[in-house]
């Protein structure tokens, strides 16, 4: 492994939100049900393979991609399918499995013992069959990786700068061997390099010493300095539609490694329970797709709470009876907005969080704020306030990229950098936007348009 540069990013912002999870790790009670959402697998066209009432085991495929049938989403538990939820035009939305607690594994061939470029195909088919392959994502566009693609490089994101993010050290602690094996597996999938990106000052030598074609990059700076898109942009940018790069999280790498060590797919992850409305803010070991209520509960049951799987900028509003998302390692509980505030725009703002410096809170940099789900203003026309430009640490002109998407101008979008971004990279801009524009949706629409144009369906 080679230690590479330390990137110091100045643009961005750390939202001063209250409710960080404590650095404690517990094992959560085994969930009574798990659910997997089709929307967590962007770029897949799901076709359900199970019906309600059917028995499934750990690793049993729940659905596959219509065009690439080897690409499957598998059950993380053994039990009975409780519901196959469908939306408009019978599109698959989610599959919910009632667990039996036995965790019987489905029969499958074990993954190859030796991992190297020579048996890349075997590794990929084993990963696909296990249901773990969708842990790997692909750029451009941030879709689930295409098993048929040959990535130029693979990025491993071993840091998280998003609001209330889980503790990376806690995720990796005691998992060094699995992480190392995961990196070996990933290294076999590319002819290029595996770039491991961590926060500044993080030591990796003990995890990955002696491995070939691995580079370690350190990123220092406010959110979104921890985003894969930002890392790729600075280390080895996407050059065109066909310049494919894969990326996965450290947690993802651990799951891949564990599978190659134990020969059984495991879906056990470390998740932070955070947010000002959450009781017992801590880290827990649970399963991908676990019922959120099995490990998180609100600290005040009398007032409405928003259950978010993921972080407060990009996560899914899962509801009290929702499930942990496939790639999420955080559940955030925040208060729902309630009550009018008289002359709110005149407030001095001792307790209002803002990127702008227009509230007194600006001068209380150490304070943390309880932030609810209030939109804090009405939707207005775009005004070039210069705020987005301060929040995106890439050589991309955010307002102009957004305008080109609104205009549907594919050529301009590409020249302005749509290939390098995903909605999460713009989530902070959306948070700070004084016009309350849905910026992530605009980026998503732009990516959808590009995918359609380049011949793939959404």
Partner 1 sequence: MKTRGRIRSMFEKGGSLERLWPLLDAAETFLFRLPARTSGGAHIRDAYDLKRMMMIVVLALFPCMAFGTYNVGYQFYASAGIAAGHLDCLIKGLWVVVPLYAVTFAVGGFWEAFFALVRGEEINEGFFVTGTLIPLVMPPTIPLWQLALAVSFGVVLGKELFGGTGMNVFNPALVSRAFLFFAYPKSISGAGVWVLKGDRMVDAVSGATPLHLGIEPVGDIVPYLSSNGFDFWRMFSGLEPGSIGETSVIAILMGAALLLVTRVASWRIMLSVFAGGAAMALLCNAFAPSPASMLALPAHYHFVMGGFAFGAVFMATDPVSAAGTNAGKFIYGFLIGVLAVLVRTLNPAYPEGMMLAILFMNLFSPLIDYMVVRLNMRRRRLRAAG
User: Which positions from 125 through 164 interact with partner 1, judged by CB under 8 A?
Assistant: 163
Q: How far is the CB of 400 from partner 1 (least distance, A)?
A: 5
Residue from 336, 367, 407, 453 binding partner 1 (CB under 8 A): 336
What residues between 227 and 256 interact with partner 1 by CB under 8 A? 237-240
Binding of partner 1 at residue 6 (CB under 8 A)?
no
Residue 172 half-sphere exposure toward CB, CA atoms < 13 A? 24
DSSP 377-415: S--------SHHHHH--SS--HHHHHHHHHTT-HHHHHH
Residue from 38, 213, 440, 451 binding partner 1 (CB under 8 A): 440
Element of type H or E holding 29: none
Residue from 18, 389, 409, 445 binding partner 1 (CB under 8 A): 389
Q: How far is the CB of 458 from partner 1 (least distance, A)?
A: 17
CA angle 320, 323, 328 (to 5 degrees): 120
Residue from 182, 315, 393, 446 binding partner 1 (CB under 8 A): 315
Pairing of strands 268-274, 33-37: unpaired
Residue from 262, 358, 454, 457 binding partner 1 (CB under 8 A): 358
Binding of partner 1 at residue 10 (CB under 8 A)?
no
Report how far residue 132's alpha carbon sits from residue 155's, in angstroms, rounded to the nearest whole number: 17
Look at the block and give the residue holding tokens 């948070």: 431
Give the SS3 label for residue 301: coil
What residues between 49 and 68 interact with partner 1 by CB under 8 A? none
Residue from 1, 9, 17, 204 binding partner 1 (CB under 8 A): 17
Our CB check for partner 1 shows the closer of 271 and 439 to be 439
Pairing of strands 282-287, 268-274: antiparallel
How many residues bind partner 1, per CB under 8 A? 73
Q: How far is the CB of 149 from partner 1 (least distance, A)?
A: 19
Our CB check for partner 1 shows the closer of 56 and 236 to be 236
**417 with 394: CB under 8 angstroms?**
yes
Report how far residue 157's alpha carbon sits from residue 228's, in angstroms, rounded to the nearest whole number: 6
Q: How far is the CB of 416 from partner 1 (least distance, A)?
A: 7
- Which stretches within 7-165 are classed as H helix? 120-130
Contact flags string 269-308 toward partner 1, x per CB under 8 A: -------------------------------------x-x
What residues between 405 and 434 interact with partner 1 by CB under 8 A? 415-417, 427, 430-434
Residue from 439, 447, 450, 451 binding partner 1 (CB under 8 A): 439
The CA-based diameter of the chain, rounded to the nearest angstrom, is 68
Q: How far is the CB of 10 from partner 1 (least distance, A)?
A: 13
Q: How far is the CB of 325 from partner 1 (least distance, A)?
A: 14
CA 55 vs. chain centroid, Å, equals: 29
CA angle 444, 446, 447 (to 5 degrees): 65
Q: How far is the CB of 153 from partner 1 (least distance, A)?
A: 15
Binding of partner 1 at residue 167 (CB under 8 A)?
no
Element of type H or E holding 172: helix 168-172
* Neighbour tally for 83: CB within 10 Å: 15
Binding of partner 1 at residue 99 (CB under 8 A)?
no
Token duo for residue 446: 């732009």
Strands (E), 39-193: 46-48, 55-56, 61-65, 72-74, 79-86, 92-99, 137-139, 143-144, 153-158
Residue from 8, 121, 436, 452 binding partner 1 (CB under 8 A): 436
Q: Which stretch binds partner 1 (CB under 8 A): 77-85, 168-176, 379-387, 450-458?
A: 379-387
């Amino acid at each position: 492994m080679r230690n590479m540069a330390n990137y110091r990013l100045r643009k961005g912002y750390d939202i001063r939100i209250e409710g960080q999870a404590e650095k404690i790790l517990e094992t959560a009670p085994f969930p009574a049900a798990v659910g997997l959402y089709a929307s967590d697998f962007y770029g897949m066209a799901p076709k359900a393979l199970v019906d309600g009432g059917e028995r499934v085991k750990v690793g049993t495929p729940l659905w596959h991609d219509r065009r690439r049938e080897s690409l499957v989403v598998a059950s993380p538990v053994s039990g009975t399918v409780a519901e196959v939820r469908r939306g408009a035009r019978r599109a698959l939305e989610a599959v919910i499995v009632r667990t039996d607690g036995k965790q019987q594994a489905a029969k499958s061939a074990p993954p190859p013992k030796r991992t190297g470029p020579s048996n890349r195909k075997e590794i990929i088919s084993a990963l696909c069959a296990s249901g773990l392959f969708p842990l790997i994502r692909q750029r451009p566009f941030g879709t689930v990786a295409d098993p048929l693609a040959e990535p130029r490089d693979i990025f491993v994101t071993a840091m998280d700068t998003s609001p209330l993010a889980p503790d990376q050290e806690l995720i990796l602690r005691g998992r060094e061997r699995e992480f190392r094996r995961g990196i070996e597996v990933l290294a076999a999938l590319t002819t290029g390099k595996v770039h491991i990106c961590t926060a500044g000052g993080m030591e990796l030598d003990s995890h990955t010493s002696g491995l070939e074609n691995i580079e370690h990059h350190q990123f220092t700076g406010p959110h979104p300095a921890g985003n894969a898109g930002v890392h790729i942009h600075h280390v080895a940018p996407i050059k065109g539609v066909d310049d494919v790069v894969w990326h996965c999280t450290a947690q993802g790498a651990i799951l891949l490694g564990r599978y190659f060590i134990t020969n059984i797919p495991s879906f056990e992850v470390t998740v932070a329970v955070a947010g000002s409305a959450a009781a017992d803010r801590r880290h827990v070991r649970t399963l991908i797709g676990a019922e959120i209520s099995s490990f998180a509960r609100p600290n005040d049951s009398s007032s409405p709470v928003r259950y978010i799987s993921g972080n407060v900028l990009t996560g899914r509003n899962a509801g009290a009876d929702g499930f942990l998302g496939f790639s999420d390692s955080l559940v955030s509980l925040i208060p729902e907005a309630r009550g009018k505030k008289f002359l709110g725009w005149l407030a001095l703002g001792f307790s209002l969080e803002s990127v702008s410096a227009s509230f007194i809170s600006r001068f209380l940099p150490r304070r943390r704020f309880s932030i609810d789900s209030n939109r804090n203003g009405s939707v207005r026309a775009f005004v070039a306030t210069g705020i987005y430009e301060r929040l995106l640490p890439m050589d991309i002109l955010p307002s102009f990229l957004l305008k080109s998407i609104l205009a549907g101008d594919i050529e301009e979008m590409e020249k302005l950098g749509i290939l390098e971004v995903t909605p999460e990279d713009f989530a902070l801009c959306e948070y700070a936007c004084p016009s309350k524009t849905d910026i992530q949706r605009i980026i998503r629409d732009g990516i959808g348009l590009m995918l359609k144009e380049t011949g793939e369906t959404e």
